[in-house]
Structure 1
Amino acid sequence: MPTRFSFPTRVVWGAGSIGKLAEEVRLAGGLKVLVVTDRGVIDAGIIDHVRRMLEEAQLAHSVFSEIHSNPIESDVWRGVAAFRELDADVIVGIGGGAPIDTARAIRLAVHHPQPLSRYDDAADGGRFVTGELPPLIAIPTTAGTGSEISRSAVVLLDDTKRKTVLFSPRLMSTCAIVDPELTTGLPAKPTAWTGMDAFTHCLEAYVSLGDHPLADALAIEGIRLASRALPAVMKNGGDLSSRTEMMSAAMMGGIALTKGLGAAHAIAHAVGAVADVHHGLTNAVVLPAVCRFNEAQAHPRFARVAEAMGEDRKGRSDRELADRACTRIESLCREVGIPPKLSDVGVVPNMIPAIVEKAVEDASHRTNPRPFTADDCERIVRSLV
């Protein structure tokens, strides 16, 4: 079957690239900037630096930071109100996946009619993204979601009561400013959680169904980079070389996931909606169990994963290497401090039915390499609670 793909996002890359923000705002035609961020980025002092740059460039701006760690629909509409109050003409999303996804959803909602569920990727909602879109400059401060080069936003919607992917190629950022220096002060836990999110994007994209050779190439390289760089930055958060490799892996994962994801993301989206657990953390907790579930169905792919993570083939079969890939993934999670159970992050048994229901409804598992039923989901979740 023919496959269509593209990823032409403009990227300003490298240490110190945040200094190009005002220039990029002007290139986008902006004079009034809505900065979308969260409390963590403000507390880190990054927004003070951003505001100084905008003030020096005589660019009017305001800061919107009323964002949940798992964005909800009301965050988006409050952001739209802030955009209109300023009469803004450019949006700058700065932070992890939550602020950048919220910024992208605000961008969509400013000139597109309600409800947001109209634009649900699972229902081919991208065909309705046809109106005007203000420019979006995305600046990641974590190496995780790859949202800076994504064409989607994930938001918990009011009418569906589930985390929903709002998708269209038109939602790609006008520009992404990717400065690894912004991640050097990130504490250990969010470093691990967001880093494992990047790894999971690459892993699930690589083993997913579908034919996307460019995505596969990026995914396997992202796996190689993240599996060595994440343990390094956990030992030394100021290691700029490894932080840069993690930013590369995150972008690779953000592009590769356009091929598809899998059951880990379906469960993680459901857990986020039901228990409000950090998305990257949930991905990391469930990933080893999902890999064991998928291993036999996709052993040639998992064999390549093992090699990317440092295994030598040494005459071993694909099935033997696939088992080693799963073992390596389990070890990586332990090494960076990921708890082994969903019960360790606040999931309790009475949440399981709702998690299973929402996971099965989630479109992410449609490209899982092995068919994923409600019974399969319940077995995996119960084994972790």
Structure 2
Amino acid sequence: MSQESEIIRPAFKEARNVEADLLLTLGAGSLTDGAKIIALALANQVHTADELETLAQGSNKRSQMSEPTIPIISIPISLSAGEYSNFAGGTDDHSRRKFSFQAPTRGPQLVILDPKLVQSTPNPIWLSTGIRAVDHCVETLCAIVGVTPQSDELAEHALALLIPGLLQCKKERTNTDAHLQCQLGSVEAMAACTSGSVQLGASHGIGHQLGPLGVGHGETSWILLPAVCKFNAAHNANRDRQLRVRKFLIRDKVVSEVLQSYSVNVENSDLGHILDVIIRELSMPRSLSEVNVGRDKLDGLAAHSLHDRWCQSNPAPLKDKSQVLEILEMVV
């Protein structure tokens, strides 16, 4: 099991051999998650992939685990904001199934934001992880379990920073203020979905299992978020929550201008459609075929997704493979 195994395994071995007292990451969310997993593994005397799986969520998880003691410092160059959470994801090299590492996993003790540094982050990474942060906001605001007035307030404020900021970054990658706006928005987005006990949905759940198929963390949100919103609305799961987010978005001046440029009839557009237009304006792919995931992968993807906690907590819970396939058919 690994999160980018060619990085994790050598780093874990070296950290253990030199008895490292600090882990430092400079990069995107995969490196941050990798550091969290390394710290957890070091604290629990793990040496093999099979032993590592006993630290992940699932039937093989150990009943007793030690908390990580080695601190982590992260300098992120993306917007997925994994630096602000105490969980991580890792992929099994053989099954290509992604596992979730939760308590007692710990995130970085120090995060350094540099809006000038991230201006050199390639557009696909910057914008895609930005949409991942938007996904944090939307699935928090559309959740029906564990939400609080505080989580809603944080998510709405984050959306108000992220969407105009991302659209401005798309036009002008030298705009330092826009990059900082996105960074701060991503922090609040993660705070929203980790405050209290918010139960996220299938955009995150299915997206976790797209990662092992070579799809970037942010790219999964480009493709899945609008479709998951449409699926939940069609199954009458969270219409009121979606309506609130829709109204919030169309009041934003920047969003309104984008919708007008696409000749969108706002009155007849649901949340899924509005999100689709925003993502298209950022020139992001909108289908699985555009990220080289064909129909031959759908069955396995659907089966693996059913194990993910966020598919189980989706407003319309995904309990059968056919439900996951219904969502995937929208974006195949």
The Cα shift of 1:126 comes to: 8.9
Is residue 352 of structure 1 aligned with residue 291 of structure 2?
A: no
Is residue 383 of structure 1 aligned with residue 330 of structure 2?
A: yes
Structure 1 counterpart of 2:183? 247
Alignment equivalent of 1:167, drawn from 92, 98, 102: 102
The Cα shift of 1:124 comes to: 10
Structure 2 counterpart of 1:277? 215
Residues 32-43 of structure 1: pairs in structure 2 closer than 5 A: none
Question: Matched residue of 1:138: which SS?
Answer: strand
The Cα shift of 1:154 comes to: 0.8
Change (3 A) 1:333 1:279: same
Deviates more, 1:331-340 or 1:247-256: 247-256
Question: Matched residue of 1:264: which SS?
Answer: helix
Structure 1 counterpart of 2:142? 207
Structure 1 counterpart of 2:229? 291
Change (3 A) 1:219 1:124: farther
Matched AA of 1:266: G
Structure 1 counterpart of 2:259? none
The Cα shift of 1:256 comes to: 2.5
| Cα distance in 2, alignment partners of residues 184 and 377 from structure 1 | 37
Is residue 119 of structure 1 aligned with residue 55 of structure 2?
A: yes
- Deviation track 1:44-69 (CA, whole Å, cap 9, x = no partner) reads xxxxxxxxxxxxxxxxxxxxxxxx9x
Is residue 267 of structure 1 aligned with residue 206 of structure 2?
A: yes
The Cα shift of 1:290 comes to: 0.7
Question: Matched residue of 1:71: which SS?
Answer: coil
Deviates more, 1:262-271 or 1:252-261: 252-261
Alignment equivalent of 2:249, drawn from 288, 309, 313: 309
Equivalent pair of 1:302/1:322 in contact (CA under 8 Å) = no
Change (3 A) 1:121 1:248: farther
| Cα distance in 2, alignment partners of residues 132 and 236 from structure 1 | 41
Is residue 176 of structure 1 aligned with residue 111 of structure 2?
A: yes
| TM-score, normalising length: structure 2 | 0.84
The Cα shift of 1:168 comes to: 1.9
Question: Matched residue of 2:54: which SS?
Answer: helix
| TM-score, normalising length: structure 1 | 0.73
Matched AA of 1:240: T
- Deviation track 1:297-354 (CA, whole Å, cap 9, x = no partner) reads 2122112212332338xxxxxxx97944222201111001111210111011111111
Structure 1 counterpart of 2:16? 84
Matched AA of 1:250: S
Change (3 A) 1:369 1:122: farther
- Deviation track 1:113-137 (CA, whole Å, cap 9, x = no partner) reads 4422223245695964424420111
Structure 2 unpaired stretches of 5+? 253-265
The Cα shift of 1:179 comes to: 2.3
Change (3 A) 1:330 1:129: same
Deviates more, 1:114-123 or 1:320-329: 320-329
Structure 1 counterpart of 2:283? 337
Structure 2 counterpart of 1:23? none
Structure 1 unpaired stretches of 5+? 1-67, 313-319
Deviates more, 1:321-330 or 1:191-200: 321-330
Alignment equivalent of 2:82, drawn from 122, 129, 147: 147
| Cα distance in 2, alignment partners of residues 377 and 251 from structure 1 | 30
Question: Matched residue of 1:119: which SS?
Answer: coil
Equivalent pair of 2:225/2:272 in contact (CA under 8 Å) = no
> What value does the CA root-mean-square deviation take over the aligned residues?
2.5
| Cα distance in 2, alignment partners of residues 80 and 343 from structure 1 | 35
Structure 1 counterpart of 2:42? 110
Question: Matched residue of 2:23: which SS?
Answer: strand
The Cα shift of 1:147 comes to: 1.1
- Deviation track 1:62-118 (CA, whole Å, cap 9, x = no partner) reads xxxxxx9x9245643321112134332111122111111111111111121442222
Is residue 216 of structure 1 aligned with residue 152 of structure 2?
A: yes
| Cα distance in 2, alignment partners of residues 131 and 169 from structure 1 | 5
Aligned residues: 308
The Cα shift of 1:268 comes to: 1.3
Question: Matched residue of 1:339: which SS?
Answer: coil
Question: Matched residue of 2:25: which SS?
Answer: strand
Equivalent pair of 2:143/2:241 in contact (CA under 8 Å) = no
Equivalent pair of 2:226/2:271 in contact (CA under 8 Å) = no
Matched AA of 2:199: G
| Cα distance in 1, alignment partners of residues 4 and 100 from structure 2 | 12
Runs of 4+ deviating beyond 3 Å: 72-75, 121-129, 158-161, 320-324
Structure 2 counterpart of 1:58? none
Change (3 A) 1:101 1:251: same
| Cα distance in 2, alignment partners of residues 301 and 218 from structure 1 | 15
Question: Matched residue of 2:73: which SS?
Answer: strand
Equivalent pair of 2:205/2:305 in contact (CA under 8 Å) = yes
The Cα shift of 1:160 comes to: 6.2
Question: Matched residue of 2:20: which SS?
Answer: coil
The Cα shift of 1:193 comes to: 1.0
| Cα distance in 2, alignment partners of residues 236 and 279 from structure 1 | 24
Change (3 A) 1:180 1:257: same
| Cα distance in 2, alignment partners of residues 183 and 104 from structure 1 | 22
